[in-house]
Structure 1
Amino acid sequence: MNTEKFFHYLSWVATTTAILMYVSYIPQIANNLAGDKGSPVQPLVAAFNCTLWVTYALLKKPRDLPIAIANAPGILFGLIAFFTAL
């Protein structure tokens, strides 16, 4: 396998694992809604970090779609986890 192909596959594996990381907020959100509140700090910081990465990836020339796709769920799930923890 050549280097270019390796990095292509690596970028999509990393994208998938990043999405899974942010989807893993769902149990915390469910616990928050059930009254077992978690800390709002980490999900808020994650949402802010993901916003920066998505902005970077979309403004970069050429665009870096794997980074944008990987971090977009972090904005949504991070904010939901934050607001439900309040």
Structure 2
Amino acid sequence: MKIDNGDYPTGKAAVDPKRVKYLKILSKLATIMCISMYVSYIPQIIANFSGDPVSPIQPLVATINATLWVGYGWFKTYKDWPVIISNFPGIIFGLVTVITVYLH
């Protein structure tokens, strides 16, 4: 399969309806799971406010990772919306988790 500069496959694989349907389902599932991963910071945020702060290292690294992926999705030739949408909550929840470590 040949890949052009737009990061989209060309040739027969590009028009295979089964493959397109599979990729749409896969991207939706991956988006839901990624958002769920970042929403799971809520118990850590609650723990921070309850006076039992968590380590800020993991949420800080997750924030940086999510920021990089959002940037990657945004600056591609064609915006990669599943990547952007699934990682944007990581920026928010990661930052809130890190900040609340120090605000307890």
TM-score, with structure 1 as normaliser: 0.96
Return the match for 1:55 from 67, 71, 95.
71
* Residue matched to 1:33: 49
* Residue matched to 1:85: 101
Q: Larger radius of gyration, structure 1 or 2?
A: 2
Q: What is the aligned-residue identity percentage?
A: 50
Q: Which has the higher contact order (CA 8 A, sep 6+)?
A: 1
* Residue matched to 2:84: 68
Unpaired stretches in structure 2, ≥5 consecutive residues:
1-16
Larger helix percent:
1
Question: 1:4-55 deviations in whole A, cap 9, x for unaligned?
Answer: 1101110011000100000000010000011011000000000000000000
Return the match for 2:36 from 20, 37, 41.
20
Structure 1 consecutive aligned stretches of length 4 or more whose deviation exceeds 2 Å: none
TM-score, with structure 2 as normaliser: 0.80
Unpaired stretches in structure 1, ≥5 consecutive residues:
none
